[in-house]
Amino acid sequence: MTPEQAVQQLNALLDDSMSGIRPPLLYWDGWPRSTEQSAEGYYEESLGYATAARDRYIMTKVTRAKYGALLGVVERSWQAKGYTITAVNPRQPAIFASTPDGSEIAITFGAPGNITFTASVGPIPVIRDRDPFGIPTPEPVTANGNLDVLPRYDDPFWSV
């Protein structure tokens, strides 16, 4: 698939994953990225293709007491769509799934309160001399230069 098709598929996976969440959560999408795939071994030779991934950062504050509800909605939605749950981490809440076409999707909860959906698709061509997705748009950063992924918006349901 082309990088443009990969972005469309990434966005569709992310949109589909959030479509059943009510009330809806506010978010911003990170810039897509590609990762060249290599054969395992001493020399790690390129396999000649890359995978594309995109993060969706949830900007609505979700109280810890609602983590289970959010995870349940997402997991049931994925299973209803025929996705296979490949891993669950109850300690640092996270669910990982694969789609029937081999794409991957995950929801992870980090500290302090950031929630991220990550979608991955492929293969796409390896492009080394430029960003395969165009000119990156600046992402929000904190005063110290770290990516600003901390939720800042209150919601009458999710935040209490």
Q: Percent of the chain beyond pLDDT 70? A: 99
| Predicted pLDDT of residue 13 | 98
Residue 74 forms part of a structural domain: yes
Residue 15 structural domain: 3-38+48-125
The whole-number average pLDDT for the span 65-72 is 96
In a domain, 142, yes or no: no
Reduced to 3 states, what is the DSSP secondary structure of residue 35?
A: strand
Name the residue with higher pLDDT: 85 or 131.
85
**pLDDT tens digit string along 37-66?**
888 777 777 778 899 999 999 999 999 999
User: What does the mean pLDDT of the chain come to?
Assistant: 93
pLDDT of amino acid 75: 97
Q: Which of 29-33, 34-38, 65-69 has the lowest mean pLDDT?
A: 34-38
pLDDT tens per residue across span 96-131: 999 999 999 999 999 878 999 999 999 999 988 888
**Percent of the chain residues past pLDDT 90, beyond the cut:** 76
Going by C-beta distance under 8 Å and a sequence separation of 6 or more, which residues neighbour residue 12? none
pTM above 0.85, yes or no: yes
**Chain-centre distance of CA 1, in angstroms?**
19
Residue 76 lies in a domain: yes
Q: Give a yes or no: residue 160 inside a domain.
A: no
Mean pLDDT, range 13-25, rounded to an integer: 97
Q: Is 153 a domain residue? A: no
CA 61/CA 82 separation, integer angstroms: 29
Instruction: Answer yes or no: is 23 within a domain.
Output: yes
CATH number at residue 79: 3.30.160
- Please, are residues 124 and 6 in contact by the beta-carbon 8 Å criterion? yes
Domain count, the chain: 1
Tell me, yes or no, whether 113 lies in a domain.
yes
Categorize the per-residue pLDDT at 153 as very low, low, confident or very high, splitting at 50, 70 and 90. Answer: very high
Residues 50-72 as b/e (b if ≥16 CB within 10 A, e otherwise) read: bbbbbbbbbbbbbeeeeeeebbe
Report phi then psi at 56, rounded to 5. -120, 115
Q: What is d(CA 100, CA 62) in angstroms, rounded to the nearest whole number?
A: 30
- Asked whether residue 152 is assigned to any structural domain, the reply reads no
| Cα distances (angstroms) measured from residue 159 to each of 2, 94, 110, 117 | 39, 19, 16, 18
